[in-house]
Structure formats: C-alpha cells, structure tokens
C-alpha cells in the first residue's frame, strides 16, 4: 500500500507547531538559524518560544533582496521564524554566504512558505543551488502549503553558498535557513550527499520532535498506520550511538496488529524512479519479554532480504541498522518490510526510520584562493555588481561578468583566466589580491583612475599574455618582468609612467667597475686552484675509503643537530656475510627496481626470504631504507609483508622480507610471464585484504601511518593468493596530538598520486584512499593508469566518460569474459570512483572501504554459491551497536 509520507512532511510548519521538549537545553554551538526577512526594527537574535532556538536576521549573510511578511490570516499559524520572507525581484542569482567548517558534515535545511506575502497570490517556482551545483526545484504552485528541503553535506571550503536562481517569470523567495554541524562518523555515503526523503518515528501522537530533544535539531515526524499497534515505555532508552536519535523517538514503537503479518512501509517516487536510497533503521526493545518469548525478524527491501543475520533488538538500548551502499526501487516503487522469523514468538518492531536519497554535487567550486582574491578585489574597489554572487565560474550561464574561467573537467576546481575591469571607476593602487589569480592570461584595468606604481607581482604571474593598463594615472618605471617576450603590455595614457626599456646614460667610470670585478674574480679562482692541487698532493691515498655511502649519515650515532636519527638496533640485524650466505652469493635474482635488485634466499636452512639490496646508484637512498626498517620493525599484520631482518654494514644495505611467491598483482592482471588471470571473486578478495592492511596502518597503529605509494606492483600475493602490501620506503607517521595531516615533500607514483596532496603538500590518510581507488579501478578494468593513446589518458577520466553510457561491460576487464556479478561490479566501481574523488573530504575512510568490499564479496559469492570460504567477510548489512568508547583494533 502506498503511504503519503512525502506529503505529510510537506505539511510541517503550516499549522501551529506542537513538539516535544525537554528540561535541559543542549548546546547550540555552531548552529546557524536565520529568520529570512526579519524586519530591521525587530531584535536580532531572538529566542523562538516554541523551540528555544536563537534566530538571527539573515541580513548579515546576503547583500540583496527585499523583505516581506506572510498574509495576516496565515501569520498566526506559523512559527515566528517562518512568517517572514526575503524575496529577490532583482538579479537572476542571489546567494547566501554562510560560514561553515570545511570537511565536516552539516545538516543544511531551507524553508519556503509563500503565504501571499506580496498580495498577488502568484506562487513562485525557481531553482535552489548549492555553490555551482543545482540542489532542488522549489515549486510552490505544486506544494501549496509550503515546503522545506534538507541535505546532509560536507562542504569543500569554509564558506557555503546557497543560491536562489530565477528560472521563469516568478520571484524567488525564502523563509528560513538552518545549518547544523554533525559528526562525520555517521550517515556515510559512497559518494554524493544525502537528501532527506523522510524521517519518522512510529507513534500515534500528533507531536513531532526536533531541538531540544534532538541535539542536531533533526525533525522527526509522527507516523502510524491503522494496521499497527503502538507499544510504549516509560523507562529510559539508551540512545548512545553515532546517530544519537532522540530518546523520545525510541520510547514508542509499532508492531503489526496481526502478529503473523509483516510490518510494511512503502512509497512511490514515480518522478524520480532511478533515485538511490540510504535507509537508517532504529530499533530498541521496549517491552518486558517473558522467558519463553523471542522477538526476531528479517529486514526485506523490495522482496530481497537485506542481511544474512536476523535482527534481535536489545532491551532499552539503541541498535541502528544501515546500508553501506545505496539501494534502488523498480519503477520508483519502494517497499521496506520487517518479517518475523519462524522461531520468533513476537511480531517485528520498529521505533524510527530515516530515508535519504543520494544527491550528487559533481561540479567543483572555483579555486578557493581565487574566490577569496575576487572578494578582496571587490572590497578594495567598492564594486557592487548584482551578479557577483555565488560561484564566480559555474554554472557557465551565471558566471560573473568581467571573468573568464578555465573549462576543465568537473572534478578540477575552475581557475580564473581573464579579468576585465576596464572603465569600472577604479581608484587607488592596483589591488594586491590580483597576484593570487595565478592562472590569469588576460588582465584589463584600462580607463580607470588607478594611481601609484605598477607592482612587481604582475610579472610573477607567468601565465599572463596580455595586460592593459592604459588610460590611468600610474607613475614610476614599468618592471622589467612585464616587458618579457610573449607578454603584450599596453600602458599608454599614463604620462608619469616610464618604460624600463629606455636605456640609462652611462659614463666611462661605470664601464670600469665590471672590468675590475671580472679581473679580481679570475685572480681568486687561480689562487684557489693552486691551493687545491697542493693540498691534494699531500693527502693519503686511502682518504676515499672513509667516505660514507651517498645519501646516508656518516655514523649511526644520533646527535641533537642530526636531521636523520639512527635505525633502532634490534635482534633482526644480519651481517653482510650472512646475506651472502643466505642468497648463495646472490645466485637467484627475483627482480630489479630503482632501489637495486631483489634476490631469493633462505634463512635457517628452510625459511624462504626475499633480499632487497640497495645499490649505490639507488634512487631510494638511505633515508627511505631507514624509514622502511623503522616502520616494519614495529608493525605486524597478516596483509603487510613482514620484515625478517636487515643489513646495515658499511656500504652494504639490505632488507630481508618474507618470500611471497606469486609476485605482484599487476603481473596477474596483465598475464605477464605466464601468470594466470585472477577471476573477479579473487580480485575482490585481494582488494579487501589490501584495504585491511591499509586500514591497520591508518587506525591500528599509534601514531597512524600513511603508506604513500599504494599501487598494484606493491600488492604482493602469497601461495594462497593472499594480498600483502609491500614497499614502505615512502611511508610517513603522523605526529602525536590529533593532527589529520602533515606537510611534506610530495612523493609517490604518477597516476596514483592524490591530486590534492600534489597541490598542497598536505599529506593525510585520504591520500592513500585515493591511490587505493586507482588500484581498484585497475582491478576492475585492467586498464593502464595513464595511457596517452586513450581519448581520456587518466583512468579516472576514462571510467568517468564510460559511465555516461551506463554499460558496465564496457568498463570491466574483457579478460573476465563477463564472469562476474553485476551488482558487486557496480558497487566496486562506485566505491573506486568515490575513493578517487579529487577532494579528500569526499573520499570514504579505509574502514568504510573495507566494509563495502566485504559487501561486494558477499554479493559475488552468493552468485557462485561459494560463501563457505568467506565467513570473515559475510554481511551485506552492517549492524552497528555503537558506544562512545569504541576504538579501532590492531590486527
């Protein structure tokens, strides 16, 4: 049966608000509550009597628009913050600029009640944008009682731009804006943001819940069906998990009146049949069960069981069940059911349910530094342009006038390439902020009233090909850097400005200075050469023997001023003679790389090892050698190659590893050297095991470790094809103290290198996640990471272009011959693209990657009926009974 959940949500706020409160108010720190259109003669902020939320005027956050109030007969029916409006008769795009915390998840909610504020009774229709991306269409002709839109979103900058865009003849308007910071460890998606579809708690009450009862000010609609029976408790229900639903929402629940029937919630979304859904189900047992009573049930989505294990709610304690991947509905018809198991004596129970759809915001915002520069320029010159709101570059039809921008792919932040402020009544000096527009090709400041000298920083913008400074009152000398070849500079009409190309007058004395200086330099060089030859003749011939190997400290003694501490000496150190013996004088070479050669060896006559010898010409160097030894002496995980020992004797450096006989993953994907091509199920298992190794480095080690060189050639396979992550020469630890990144010289392998790390030198755990995403794309496609012969050379761009066709067969490795479960393939592909998102904040954690890959494995193995070997990776649904003391476990 179709339920009118969506319609009920839209009616919230149209009547006098009745809600559940509590005695003590949680903190409103970080909340932004804006009463849009609050009259100037009213106090701001004020405390709303119904919610005890502090509301502010929106005037501080927007520079355009006019204010109004809903019709008097409707005003008394609405809460105060929603009874006023700000409307925008001028300009096509008008934007709020709100301060937020970059990289943190926020609840963003906007309210719209027309209320005939203008007396015309013409209900508007317009678009709502988040930065450069469309968010929603607001159609108040269809939603006559008003509406709200709500998303959970992670901003990519410290400023969130919410824009109302005129799309027809009617005037955009807004009633209220609310921003609530959330925790990043809940409501996790593979990609995109979450748009609220509905959020309900199951009760016969007509009350709905928000702040103060909900610390995040989520709004819970009361919902119930005739075929249900309500159960309640007066006991305190623990809500201590990462979602922290309000206790009032857990104190009631619904069960089917007919105990043998399922509890069903269904809906139809025919307008958007392809929408993807995330479901968050909140359970708590609130009845006293007798000894012979059992409540156990399965969750079913469109007739498909959602988990391998049935749900048994805990007594008076929250259990939240969630899907780690989005789900779809056939033809937009969605049905969620709870069905009792055969051994259950009681019907299923549900306390609360949240349903979200996935919304993508793919277009990157314009480079944050350049946006700040434009704001600075705007402020410096007192410019007031109606269309200088929102993102400067996108969407293209709303681009700021006076600008041109680079049109790169949507994942790369646009850059400003042209700025034309000719005849704009500019006064004062040339704005210093222009130097932050580092990709400018064209700059036109002509026909203004600019004064002062031409700044040197203009010459430092190497991309500039054209500058027009004519028709101003500039003075001084044009910097020589602006008269370089390839740069066209116009500066006529500045009578006090002199070109640097005019040669200064010289005297005979000035010619003598360089001549004397040159003769003196020659004399000094000759004297130094004679002294060197005399000293060299007196030195003993053995002097070269005491020189240390290149790129390493002279001794293993640590001094206070030494930039490189010595390797911590432990019992695993081997002498060079022992290395010769274990390798039988380096008889069997396994491979060769930038570090040198790898030889096969044997320790204690039986244990096979791989001996990695650092050559004198190695590109790795002593620093990386020392880093790898130090790291591998203290980490231990089944999916990391283990260190047996090392040699550090004079010029001889070697690392002795466990022997991994099946070599690296890249060889198996390519079939190089006759290696067998691994099937899809094995590929997924290898990916999951490599992810477990990375997860251990990120959360199982103290301090956390970033690998920095994750790639298919660094994933080795043992005799059972178990994945082992190798090569830790570039790995870095984070300092103690909670830092989420370190600044470091960029290192890694082209193609796998995190673009954000490359641009900022700020290394974090998400840098490994990006590289792992590229590895996963290799596993899926068996394509080269960078192939200049492809139309899209980088693998992420190639996959992105192929995704538009919607045919996964064109993306999957043809060597698999179609032998894979399409659901697991799609999930793995979505995960890979999420990991390879150019913005680190949008990438999942390695823990989330591990969970998702386990789901893919279950889907694949259920197709093959081979789940008996995968007991450790066995659940497509995750039951999360959270507590605040939960900590990562080292394996």
Q: Residue 178 sits in a domain of what CATH number?
A: 2.60.120.430
> Residue 291's domain is classified under what CATH number?
2.60.120
The C-alpha atoms of residue 750 and residue 711 are separated, in whole angstroms, by 10
What's the CA gap between 757 and 838, in Å, rounded?
Answer: 10
Q: Is 284 exposed, middle or buried (0-12, 13-18, 19+ CB in 10 A)?
A: buried
C-alpha span between 225 and 223 (Å, rounded): 7
Q: Are residues 57 and 156 in the same domain?
A: yes
Phi and psi at 121, nearest 5°, equal 55, 40
pLDDT, tens digit (0-9, with 9 covering 90-100), for 6-61: 334 334 433 334 445 443 567 898 999 999 999 878 888 999 988 899 999 999 99
Task: Tell whether 826 and 685 lie within a shared domain.
Answer: yes
Exposure of 734 in the CB half-sphere (CA atoms within 13 A) = 22
- The answer to whether the peptide bond before residue 395 is cis (omega within 30 degrees of 0) is yes
| 626 lies in some domain | yes
Give the Cα separation of 598 and 593 in Å (integer): 8
Number of other CB atoms surrounding residue 523 within 10 Å: 10
- Domain termination residue (choose one: 462, 479, 498): 498
Neighbours of 39 (CB within 10 A): 12
Same domain, residue pair 781 and 690: yes
For residue 556, the model assigns a pLDDT of 33
CA distance 417 to 432: 17
Residues 178, 260 within the same domain: no
End-to-end Cα, the chain, rounded Å = 48
**What pLDDT is stored for residue 520 in this prediction?**
54
8 Å CB contact between 343 and 312: no
555 within domain boundaries: no
Indicate if 241 and 123 belong to the same structural domain: no
Looking at the structure, tell me whether residues 855 and 723 fall in a common domain.
Answer: yes
**Domain boundary at 156, 184, 212, which?**
184
In a domain, 509, yes or no: no
Total number of domains in the chain = 5
Task: Answer yes or no: is 78 within a domain.
Answer: yes
The range of the structural domain enclosing residue 872 comes to 665-880
Instruction: Please report the pLDDT score of residue 511 as a whole number.
Output: 46
Answer yes or no: 139 catalytic: no
CA atoms within 13 A on the CB side of 445: 23
Q: Can you give the pTM of this predicted structure? A: 0.58
CATH number for 581: 3.30.200.20
Query: What is residue 698's three-state secondary structure?
Result: helix
Is 612 marked within a binding site? yes
Residues in the chain: 891
Q: What is the DSSP string of 316-341?
A: TB-EEEE-SS-EE-GGGEEEEEEEE-
Examine residue 553 and state whether it is found in any structural domain, yes or no.
Answer: no
Same domain? 646 vs 730? no
Let me know if residue 800 belongs to a domain: yes
Beta strand 473-477 with 496-498: parallel, antiparallel or unpaired?
Answer: parallel
DSSP code per residue over 232-272: E--SPPB--SSS---HHHHSEEEEESSTTSPEEEEEE-TTS
Nearest alpha-carbon partner for 366 in 327, 320, 398, 341: 398
User: Can you read off the two tokens belonging to residue 94?
Assistant: 């008008």
Helix (H, G, I), strand (E, B) or coil at 398: helix
**Cα–Cα distance between 179 and 58 in angstroms, integer?**
13
**Rounded Cα gap, residues 10 and 12, in angstroms:** 6
| Same domain membership, residue 679 and residue 639 | no
Same domain, 40 and 85: yes
Indicate if 102 and 170 belong to the same structural domain: yes
Strands (E) across 447-505 are located at 449-453, 466-468, 473-477, 488-490, 496-498
pLDDT on residue 874: 36
Residues 405 and 315 in one domain: no
Sort 582 into a burial class: Cβ within 10 Å, 0-12 / 13-18 / 19+: buried
Match 């090392």 to its residue by tokens.
Answer: 646
**How far, in Å, CA of 632 to CA of 642, rounded?**
7
User: Which residues does residue 762 pair with via DSSP β-bridges, in sequence order?
Assistant: 743
Q: What is the CATH number of the domain that holds 683?
A: 1.10.510.10
From the number of C-beta atoms within 10 Å of its C-beta (0-12, 13-18, 19+), residue 67 rates as: middle
Q: Which of 664, 709, 754, 821 is catalytic?
A: 709
With respect to residue 16, please indicate whether it lies within any of the assigned structural domains. no
- In this structure, the answer to whether residues 732 and 821 fall within a common structural domain is yes
Please say which residue of 329, 359, 389 terminates a domain. Answer: 359
CATH code: domain of residue 429: 3.80.10.10
The parts of the chain modelled with pLDDT lower than 50 are 1-19, 21-23, 505-513, 515-516, 534-571, 619, 736-739, 865-891
């Amino acid at each position: 049966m179709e339920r009118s959940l969506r319609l009920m949500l839209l009616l919230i706020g149209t009547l006098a608000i009745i809600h559940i409160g509590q005695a003590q108010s949680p903190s409103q720190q970080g909340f932004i509550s804006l009463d849009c259109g609050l009259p100037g003669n009213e106090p701001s902020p004020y405390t709303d009597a119904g919610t005890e939320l502090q509301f502010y005027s929106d005037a501080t956050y927007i520079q355009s628009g006019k204010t109004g109030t809903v019709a008097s007969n409707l005003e008394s029916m609405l809460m105060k913050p929603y009874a006023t409006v700000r409307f925008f008769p001028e300009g096509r795009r008008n934007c709020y600029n709100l301060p937020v915390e970059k990289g943190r998840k926020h609840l963003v909610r906007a309210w719209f009640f027309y209320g005939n504020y203008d007396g015309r009774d013409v209900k508007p229709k317009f678009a709502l944008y988040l930065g450069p991306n469309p968010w929603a269409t607001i159609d108040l002709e269809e939603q006559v009682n008003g509406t709200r839109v709500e998303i959970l979103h992670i901003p990519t900058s410290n400023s969130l731009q919410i824009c109302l865009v005129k799309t027809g003849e009617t005037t955009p308007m807004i009633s209220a804006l609310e921003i609530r910071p959330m925790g990043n460890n809940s409501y996790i998606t593979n990609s995109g943001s979450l748009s609220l579809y509905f959020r309900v708690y199951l009760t016969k009450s007509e009350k709905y819940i928000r702040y103060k009862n909900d610390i995040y000010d989520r709004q819970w609609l009361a919902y119930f069906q005739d075929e249900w029976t309500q159960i309640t408790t007066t006991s305190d229900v623990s809500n201590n998990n990462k979602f922290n639903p309000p206790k009032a929402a857990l104190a009631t629940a619904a069960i089917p009146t007919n105990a043998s029937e399922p509890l069903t919630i269904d809906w139809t979304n025919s307008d958007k049949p392809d929408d993807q859904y995330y479901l968050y189900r909140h359970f708590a047992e609130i009845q006293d069960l007798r000894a012979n009573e059992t409540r156990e049930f399965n969750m079913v989505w469109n007739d498909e069981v959602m988990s391998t294990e049935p749900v048994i709610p805990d007594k008076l304690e929250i259990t939240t069940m969630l899907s780690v991947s989005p789900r779809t509905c056939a033809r937009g018809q969605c049905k969620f059911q709870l069905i009792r198991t055969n051994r259950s004596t009681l019907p299923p129970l549900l306390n609360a349910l949240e349903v979200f759809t996935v919304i993508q915001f793919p277009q990157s915002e314009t480079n944050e530094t350049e946006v700040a520069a434009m704001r600075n320029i705007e402020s410096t010159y007192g410019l007031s342009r109606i269309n200088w709101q929102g993102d400067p570059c996108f969407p293209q039809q709303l681009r700021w006038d006076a600008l041109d921008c680079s049109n790169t792919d949507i994942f790369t932040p646009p850059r400003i390439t042209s700025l034309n402020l000719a005849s704009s009544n500019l006064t004062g000096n040339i704005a210093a902020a222009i130097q932050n527009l580092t990709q400018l090709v064209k700059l036109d400041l002509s026909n203004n009233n600019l004064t002062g000298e031409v700044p040197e920083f203009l010459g430092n913008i190497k991309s500039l090909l054209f500058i027009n400074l004519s028709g101003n009152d500039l003075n001084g000398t044009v910097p020589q850097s602006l008269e370089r070849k390839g740069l066209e500079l116009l500066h006529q009409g500045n009578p006090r400005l002199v070109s640097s190309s005019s040669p200064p007058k010289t005297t005979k004395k000035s010619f003598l200075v360089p001549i004397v200086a040159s003769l003196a330099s020659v004399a000094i060089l000759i004297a130094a050469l004679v002294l060197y030859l005399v000293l060299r003749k007196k030195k003993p011939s053995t002097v070269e023997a005491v020189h240390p190997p290149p790129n390493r400290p002279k001794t293993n003694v640590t001094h206070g001023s030494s930039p490189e501490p010595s390797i911590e000496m432990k019992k695993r150190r081997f002498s060079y003679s022992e290395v010769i013996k274990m390798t039988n004088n380096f008889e069997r070479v396994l491979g060769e790389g930038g570090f040198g050669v790898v030889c096969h060896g044997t320790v204690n006559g039986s244990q096979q090892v791989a001996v990695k010898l650092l050559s004198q010409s190695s590109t790795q160097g002593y620093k990386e050698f020392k880093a790898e030894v130090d790291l591998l002496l203290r980490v231990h995980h089944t999916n990391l190659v283990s260190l047996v020992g090392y040699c550090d004797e004079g010029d001889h450096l070697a690392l002795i590893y466990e022997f991994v006989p099946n070599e690296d993953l890249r060889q198996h994907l390519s079939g190089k050297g006759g290696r067998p091509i691994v099937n899809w199920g094995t590929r997924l298992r290898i990916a999951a095991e490599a992810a477990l190794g990375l997860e251990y480095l990120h959360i199982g080690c103290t301090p956390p470790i970033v690998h920095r060189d994750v790639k298919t050639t660094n994933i080795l396979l043992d005799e059972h094809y178990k994945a082992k992550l190798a090569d830790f020469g570039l790995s870095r630890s984070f300092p103690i103290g909670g830092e989420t990144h370190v600044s470091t010289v960029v290192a890694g392998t082209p193609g796998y290198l995190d673009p954000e790390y490359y641009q900022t030198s700020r290394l974090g755990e998400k840098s490994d996640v990006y590289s792992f995403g590229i590895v996963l794309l290799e596993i899926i496609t068996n394509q080269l990471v960078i192939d200049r012969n492809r139309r899209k050379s980088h693998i992420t761009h190639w996959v992105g272009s192929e995704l538009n066709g919607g045919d996964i067969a064109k993306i999957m490795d043809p060597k698999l011959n179609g032998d894979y479960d399409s659901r697991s393939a799609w999930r793995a592909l979505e995960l890979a693209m999420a990991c390879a998102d150019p913005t680190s904040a949008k990438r999942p954690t390695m823990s989330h990657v591990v969970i998702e890959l386990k789901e893919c494995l279950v889907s694949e193995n259920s197709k093959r009926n081979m789940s008996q070997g995968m007991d450790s990776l066995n659940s497509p649904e995750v039951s999360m009974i959270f507590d605040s003391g939960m900590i990562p476990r080292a394996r």
